[in-house]
Amino acid sequence: MLSPRCFIWSVLLLLVLSPSVRGQHRNEVTATLDNKTKEVKITQRFTYVNTHGSGLSRLYFNDWNHAYANKNTKLAKRFAEEFNRSLHLAKDRERGNTRIRSIVDDAYAGLEWERLGNKDIIAIDLNKVLEPGESVQLFFTYTLKLPSAKFTSYGFHGNGDFYLKDWYLTPAVYDGEWKLYDNANLDDLYTDTAETIINFTYPSRLFLSSNFDSQSETTFPGGQYVQLHGVNRKNCEVILSGSKRFTTHVTGHGTVISDLESNKYDIVSQGLSINKITQFLNENLGEYPHANLLVSEFDYNKNPLYGINQLPPFIRPYNQRFQFEMKFLKTAIRSFLKETLFLDSRKERWVQDAIGYYLMIKYVEEYYPDQKLAGKLSKIWGIRGFHLAQMDFNEQYALFSMLTIRKNIDQALSTPNDSLIKFNQKIANGYKAGLGMSYLSEYLGENKVDSSITSFYKDYSLKSKVNANDFRESIKHFADKDVDWFFNEYVSKSKKIDFKIKRIEKSEDSISVVIKNKRGTNVPISLFGLQKDSVVSHYWFADIDTSRTVTIPRMGADRLVLNYDQKIPEFNQRDNWKTLNGFFASNKKLKFQFFKDTENPYYHQIFYVPILNFNVYDGVTPGLRIYNKTFLERPFQYDVSPTYSFLERTLVGRASLRYRKYHKKTGLYVSNYSFTGSTSHYQTNSRFSTLTPAVSLSWRPNDLLSNRRQTLLMRYRSVFRTVDPSIADEIDTEPDYGVLNVRYWDVDNDILNYTSWFLDAQHSSDFSKLAFELEYRKLFQSNRQFNLRLYAGKFLRNKTNSDFFSFALDRPTDYMFDLAYLGRSEDSGIYSQQIIISEGGFKSQLENPFANDWIATTNASTNIWRWVEAYGDLGFIKNKGSNARFVYDSGVRLNLVTDYFELYFPVYSNRGWEIAQDNYGQRIRFVVTISPRTLIGLFTRKWF
């Protein structure tokens, strides 16, 4: 029997002589992990083989661990774009970096190298040109300072665990040009494959799991050693944990190492599910070529099943077997493809998404055809009536991919991975890719698409160079119809798909149907004939540029429906069907439904939900909101919200009609046309009502990741007031008035450098005025934040004799009724202390705070410690017939949640030391937001 050492050398000899690895890079790494310093000391010998047709004088290596080194890397900027300040505010001990001591060649001659700017790329200048077919050995000596895992889950964890991924230096890909990609927390490292041996030394009392093969495991006082080996691999993952979490499952189609688990799903059942999934992958892809498939909880948490994963365990609506299998299936497919198909995931990620999500759809259709998206909830009274509860599990792919399409922020599948907004990168584009393959499967036939995937995997598995065009050729090889539309339209563009049945003409035995292509996207469309709820015919029609008349047999159909099975991600399905039983029968039925639901194309849905509002004069106002907005945005929306004021014993509320028209993705991208009305009370027994027609135009830059938006708003607000006789003497203006308002604003909502400005013009019969506001927030490298706001306003004419329309220092009268005051007429008590930063923006309540000529103020603040800030305001206000007056105040701001919940404690102002004066509690000001829609925006902004 061979000794373990002899066996290892025999395997290595066979690998060296094997044609499959001849010409492959070879990588030998010796790494030692220090548990105390969180550092890995590495010596690395890399044999680089030039397999290209031209000589190379400079080589590039990926150093993705260095992405955590400072606040200017692409990773840090990506975090900022997603409103995540964790990496910017990180302490030095939490950051990762790579300290390179030396790089020498096989003659032990030092090599010149440089880090490209602030990139995660190292450029190495060779001492001589590396000709085609030649190789060179590079010797690296460097130390990795691992980052805290709180940023991306990679690095060191607080409990002593480690997760190493994309950690050592790997060669960038050269295919005529270098592919130099930074780490952007997208798990898409693009590197050449190599035969890699890692001699890894790590602390005792830790258990190691890896996607590489483990050999020569030994322990010694204070530590452990293992040799990790991989052939045709890109990078080695190492998971070190304080407990033995991973279990080895030997199945009929390979060995799986996994720590995925379900507390209520026993180990034996888990093994059976894993065996079923590995068999499914073997049948639909092929044999996994490596010894072990690593399926980890870490990997799953990076790309979870959205929907399932966001619910707490005690209310997840799926049975344990289905939940475990879907969790395992998604993670296993991702690992399977990542380890075997070496596509450029930064540029062509959609191919792996298309295969992976298609297989997930196929798995559910094969093993769980009756599974509902709402799971067990679909059977509960009060929920089962929702269209969402009736949807099949696989219908989620169309639902979530349509979410960004309806918002006009969808992006083509061919968009580079680092150019996708977060929702598209994490959810929508993957779902759209899988849905596209399912669409193609319906059009060509399931066997042809399945065969093309299996063939593609067989032909290109472990090949060092594979691209999307290879996948295209595999599909075309098995297709018996033209499929160029799939790649030229569906994959490469973000044009919307939208068809409708324009009209029909029927005879006893046939039907002529005019199908209109509303968007001009040239893709096939399916047409179904239904008799009651049964499908009696099914046809596909292609090459419909604008419209086309088709004739089909009637076959007893009483209804024709486009895209009945919803396999096509169509923009609007509400005009997809026609009845054959007369005009009145074609009218959709009304459906009144409690709470918002998903869109049901076969009903006119009207939703209602109880609401509760509050202000001082109306008190708590319960009511009913009636609207037509579904989970998916729609062009025309109405929203009527009547409420009852118990204090005034009358109806109040608001109503709105809005039509939204999207244009292009960038530039002028949307127009909004609206008409709103509202009525409420501004004082006891004193009502105000407003009517406002408005038009707005919005622009955005070419980079959809940018948070910059520009908007031009034009509106005319008519205000009607009734006044209680007891306060009639206090009202010194006409009760009714109208104001024409035009405002242009430009907002760049960046968490590190926030900039916003607007120019506002107002005109009415009694006055005309202009106002300008600039707001700037800067988060410095030192983690100190500075906030600056400038405001200036000037009356062009002013015929009023009161301050109702005047500029205000601290509490505008809000004659346009835009601001969410809890008590807008209060001048004492807690409600008078509410502040909305507008106009002058002062926090202290100074004497004579109004200006009927002009105003110019500056508001500034900076943090003292975390969310504790010092603020100061100063400015000039000018009234007609008097000199300009200098005003100022200062104090402490508790910036708990910017713009949502803040407290202001005045210290010193024109009034002197306010903090030492009587009734100081009445001088404290607060910002509070109670609008659910506004609060939800605080959490959803990072996704869109």
pLDDT level of residue 140 (50, 70, 90 thresholds): very high
Tell if the pTM clears 0.75, that is, is over it: yes
> Of residues 929 and 518, which shows the higher confidence score?
518
348 residue type, one letter: E
- The pairing of strands 850-851 and 807-808 is antiparallel
Instruction: Please check the confidence at residue 627 and state whether its pLDDT lies above 90.
Output: yes
In whole angstroms, how far apart are CA 866 and each of 421, 779, 870, 892, 893? 29, 12, 11, 13, 11
Instruction: List the single range of 186-190, 309-313, 622-626, 821-825 with lowest mean pLDDT.
Output: 309-313
Q: What is the mean pLDDT of residues 296-312?
A: 80
Lowest model confidence (mean pLDDT) among 380-384, 582-586, 673-677, 792-796: 582-586
Q: Is the pLDDT of residue 511 over 60?
A: yes
CB atoms under 10 Å from CB of 135, counted, come to 14
pLDDT band per the 50, 70, 90 thresholds, residue 19: very low
**697 vs 734 pLDDT, higher one:** 697
Position 852 confidence tier, pLDDT thresholds 50, 70, 90: very high
- Name residues whose C-beta falls within 8 Å of residue 504's C-beta, 6 or more positions apart in sequence: 511, 512, 513, 514, 560, 578, 580
Q: What is the pLDDT of residues 212-248, one digit of tens each?
A: 999 989 999 989 999 999 999 999 999 999 999 999 9
Give the per-residue pLDDT at 595.
87
Q: Partners of 671 in the beta sheet?
A: 661, 697
pLDDT at residue 418 tops 50: yes
Task: Name which of 37, 15, 35 is nearest 26 in CA terms.
Answer: 15
Q: How far apart are CA 717 and CA 762, in angstroms?
A: 10
Residue 939 has pLDDT above 70, yes or no: no
More confident residue, 221 or 532: 221
Question: In DSSP terms, which residues pair with 769 in a beta bridge?
Answer: 762, 795
User: 484-498, 618-632, 920-934: lowest mean pLDDT where?
Assistant: 920-934
Q: Is the pLDDT at 941 greater than 90, yes or no?
A: no
**pLDDT confidence of residue 12:** 40
The string of pLDDT tens digits covering residues 818-838 is 998 988 888 888 999 999 999
- Give the pLDDT score at 931: 64
Q: What is the tens place of the pLDDT at every residue in 736-754?
A: 999 999 999 999 988 889 9
Tell me: pLDDT of 817 over 90.
yes
What is the rounded average pLDDT of the residues 616-639?
A: 93
CB of 510 within 8 A of CB of 489? no
Helices (H), 204-348: 267-284, 297-302, 320-338
Identify the weakest region by mean pLDDT among 35-49, 722-736, 927-941: 927-941
- How do 121-130 and 559-562 pair as beta strands? unpaired
Q: How confident is the model at residue 679 (pLDDT cuts 50, 70, 90)?
A: very high
Quote the pLDDT of residue 546. 92
- Of 97, 94, 29, 111, the residue nearest 65 (C-alpha): 97
Span 443-464, average pLDDT: 95
The pLDDT of 673-702, averaged and rounded, is 95
pLDDT grade for 930, boundaries at 50, 70 and 90: low
Q: Is the pLDDT of residue 137 over 90?
A: yes
Given this model, what pLDDT does residue 913 score?
A: 96
Domains and CATH numbers, the chain: 25-245 (2.60.40.1730), 351-491 (1.10.390.10), 499-587 (2.60.40.10), 749-944 (no CATH)
**Residue 552 bridge partners (DSSP):** 511
When pLDDT is averaged across residues 486-498 and rounded to a whole number, the result is 94
Mean pLDDT of the chain: 91
The pLDDT score that the predictor gives to residue 3 is 43
- Percent of the chain residues past pLDDT 70, beyond the cut: 94
Helix or strand (DSSP H, E) at 17: helix 4-17
6: CB partners within 8 A, 6+ apart: none
User: pLDDT at residue 588 above 80?
Assistant: no
Task: Give per-residue pLDDT as tens, 37-75.
Answer: 999 999 999 999 999 889 999 999 999 999 999 989 999
Taking only the tens place, the pLDDT of each residue in 188-203 is: 999 999 999 999 999 9
**Over 70: is that where the pLDDT of 6 sits?**
no
Name residues whose C-beta falls within 8 Å of residue 380's C-beta, 6 or more positions apart in sequence: none
> What mean pLDDT comes out for the span 322-345?
95
Q: Is it the case that residue 143 has pLDDT exceeding 90?
A: yes
Residue 367 three-state SS: helix
Question: Is residue 374 helix, strand or coil?
Answer: coil
Please give the single-letter amino acid code of residue 596: K
C-beta separation of 884 from 876 below 8 A: yes
pLDDT (mean) for 905-927: 93
Question: Per mean pLDDT, which range of 104-113, 402-411, 504-513, 713-722 is the poorest?
Answer: 504-513
Convert the pLDDT of each residue in 155-208 to its tens digit: 999 999 999 999 999 999 998 899 999 999 999 999 999 999 999 999 999 999
In the prediction, which pLDDT does 587 show?
A: 58
- Provide the pLDDT for residue 312: 64
Measured from the Cβ of residue 313, the count of other Cβ atoms closer than 10 Å reads 9
Q: What angle do CA 577, 582, 585 make, to 5 degrees?
A: 65
Per-residue pLDDT band at 935 (split at 50, 70, 90): low
CA distance 643 to 656: 15
pLDDT for 21 beyond 50: no
C-alpha Rg value of the chain to the nearest Å? 33
| The length of the chain, given as a count of residues | 944
Rounded Cα–Cα distance for residues 374 and 388 (Å): 7
Can you give the pLDDT at residue 248?
93
Q: Provide the pLDDT confidence category of residue 860 given band limits of 50, 70 and 90.
A: very high
- Which pLDDT score, from 0 to 100, does residue 311 have? 63
